[in-house]
Amino acid sequence: MIIAIDGPSASGKSTTAKGVAEKLGFTHLDTGAMYRAVTWGLKNAEITADDIETIRHFLSEIEIYFDATNRIHLNGVDVSREIRSGNISSRVSAVSAVIEVREKMVKIQRQIAKGNNCVLEGRDIGTVVFPNAEFKFFLIADVDVRAKRRLIDLEKMGETKTISELIADIRRRDELDSSRDHSPLIQAEDAIPIDTSQLTIDEQINKIINHINLNK
């Protein structure tokens, strides 16, 4: 069974997808982490998002996988922590707009999830990666709530940003993710919208679990 959870950044996707997967005993696939890992790899190799030929070559040799504890490895390096930095967040929208990067990531995502019970979270899971997913949810939240969530995440990593900087970052990323030519962030017609602004993590998870239990 495939469960798709899409939505903009900091809408609560990751925590919700992780909790839903744990409760159901499913695999949790964080597709945003994959785009972040590619962004980290390109930055590390000093390849810019407009250098398509070099990106093609980079992608042809890429090895990306999640280990048993769901940490993400790129070419043998555990990049789970680095990919959450503000530096990667500010670059990832440009990298994830590159069609070659998307095609490669979608292929890997389908390989990981195929024949498995999997909760996938991202931007295009219900529209492009698995349009026939059994269940589709689209998480949203107010921008100021999302900025506060990001602030807490960044503080844990020792980074400081103001709420207004984070609101501007989130708005910019929403705009880039929603307006790109390939697989833009849009709600699938058959996805169930969930506004997480006023919900606790448990409430978010339970809303999805209850819906699945009532409709499977």
Residues near ligand DC (CB under 6 A) are: 9, 31-32, 35-36, 92-93, 96, 122-124, 173, 177
CA dist., res. 210 & res. 82, Å (int): 35
* Residue 135: burial class (beta carbons within 10 Å; 0-12, 13-18, 19+): buried
CB 163 → ligand DC: shortest distance, Å? 18
Nearer to ligand DC, 19 or 124 (CB): 124
Measure the N-to-C terminal CA separation of the chain; round to a whole number of Å.
10
Considering the complex, what minimum distance in angstroms separates the CB of residue 197 from ligand DC? 17
Location of structure tokens 């839903």: 20
Distance CA 117, CA 24 (A): 9
Closer residue to ligand DC, CB minimum distance, 24 or 37: 37
- Closest CB 170 distance from ligand DC, rounded Å: 10
What is the spatial order of strands in the sheet that 118-122 belongs to? 27-30, 118-122, 2-6, 135-140, 192-195
Whichever of 172 and 210 has its CB closer to ligand DC, that residue is 172
Closer to ligand DC by CB, 107 or 210: give it: 107
Q: How far is the CB of 142 from ligand DC (least distance, A)?
A: 17
